[in-house]
Structure formats: C-alpha cells, structure tokens
Amino acid sequence: MSSPRPGGSRAPGHSGAQEPSTQDTPGHNAEHPGPGAPEPGGGQDGRTTPPPTPPGPTPGRTAPATPAALSWGAPATEGTGQRWCQQVTVGFHNSGGTAVRSGEVTFGTHIIGSLGIDWGTVESTVELPVPLAPGARRSPAWTVCVDAWRVPLGMHIETRDVSVEWD
C-alpha cells in the first residue's frame, strides 16, 4: 500500500498523479474539518457567520416617506373692477415626501379707508387645491370678496394675510 502524500493521496491502481487540494492548509480534510477550521458555508476569511449588512435601505424595502411639508408665499392681488373684490394668487410648494390631501386657506382681507386707515379685517376660507404631490408647486387664484356695504365709496380692500391648515 502506498503512503499518503501532502495535498493528496495515492490509491491502489492510481497512476500517481496528485488529486487537487481543497485547501492549502496541511492536514485539511474537507469531509471532517479539524478544530478551528471554518465550517462549511463560512467565508474565505474563516467566518462562520455572514458579514454584517451595510447601512442603507434593505433590498425589497423602501424608506418610510417623510410627511408632507407645505409652504406658501405672500398673496399677490389684482383688482376686479369692484372695490369689494380682489383676485388673490398664492403660491404653494410641498417639499415633503407625501402628498397634501386636504386643507383650508384662510384669507384676511383688510378694509382700508380713503386716508389709509385700516377699518377692519374680514376672514374668508376656501378649500386648498389638493392633492398636492411631493415636490409639486402650484399657484391657484381665487376671487376674494367682502360684503359690498362694508366698502363704501372711497374705500378699498387689501388681502394681506394668508394662513393654511393642511394634512
């Protein structure tokens, strides 16, 4: 019987060529690993557990969407030919990650006398033009009016205030 050779063995009737080695470690036996040898399925560095996953989104999962973040500008006004009405345009921008689904816009319309005195403020509310998608910008216009009797001859209105409630 022949003696085993490092990196292979010689079987009876074998031509004497070496069998390929499964690992360069002397005395390694692929069927029965020795003490301290990596277990099957381990990495080349000898780990028996998988490497940690890098931070970031996991495949098949999406990052949670950020809530809607609505901002708006100052009102831009134009006359309508009636001293008690104005065309009011307000720019909106949703910089959040979800759509704005509902809301209300409240206008504060000031009644201004002929000498520039602010005689009072009348509020009016309209629906917010929704949905407003993430990243969307929109500049809708509304005709805002107060009761005609509140604006006598020589007086006018100025819509100066805008507040918005949304979700």
pTM for the structure as a whole: 0.62
Buried b (16+ CB within 10 A) or exposed e, 14-50: eeeeeeeeeeeeeeeeeeeeeeebeeeeeeeeeeeee
pLDDT for residue 13 is more than 50: no
Tell me the pLDDT tens digit for each residue of 82-129. 999 999 999 999 999 999 999 999 999 999 999 999 999 999 999 999
Ordered DSSP codes for 120-150? EEEEEEEE----B-TT-EE--EEEEE--GGG
* Homologous superfamily of domain range 70-166: Immunoglobulins (2.60.40.10)
What does residue 150 show for φ and ψ, rounded to 5 degrees? -75, -15
pLDDT number for residue 2: 45
Domain boundaries, the chain: 21-50, 70-166
